[in-house]
Structure 1
């Protein structure tokens, strides 16, 4: 399972957001990209997207990560740094 945790903090605008991307295999052998986002310290919104292969799920996660990084999100911690 691959997990990437991103944060965007802008104290001047009172923005403290997180975005988590997780690629995991389902019980039936397909792959899923699980996205969770919201305000830091609060439960987030969760969405799952299913894929036939792990590489397709990772590629979709990498695309979302690039979009979020362009919007100011940054990877936090060792997990996710340089992955995908």
Structure 2
């Protein structure tokens, strides 16, 4: 057996199908409010789908919580539910100043 011969391997079987990540902000100077909310779906060392959420005041580390799911579809469903909830509360993508 040659070490140069290509070996077929199915490493993609447990990988996340596509990247899911989001960063949104909510600001109201009248209330001295400047918050952010970030989410992403990744994979644990054991191949499970992991939804990581981070939130807090803009410019600060804030808090973090991770949710582990057996299937990627469950993580995506929770991701989309949270996006809908945050948009209804006024979170939007950050505006860039040109």
Does the alignment reach a TM-score above 0.5? yes
Higher strand proportion, which one?
Answer: 1
CA distance in 2, matches of 1:20, 1:35: 6
Displaced runs of 4 or more, over 2 A = none
Q: CA deviation at 1:3?
A: 1.2
Say what the alpha-carbon RMSD is for the aligned residues: 1.2
Q: Secondary structure at the match of 2:36?
A: strand
Larger radius of gyration: 2
CA gap 1:50/1:66 in 2 versus in 1, 3 angstroms:
same
CA distance in 2, matches of 1:22, 1:28: 17
Structure 1: any 5+ residue segments left out of the alignment?
78-84
Task: Give the alignment's TM-score, normalised by structure 2.
Answer: 0.74
Structure 2: any 5+ residue segments left out of the alignment?
1-18
Aligned to 1:43: 61
CA distance in 2, matches of 1:54, 1:76: 27
Aligned residues: 77
Aligned to 1:71: 89
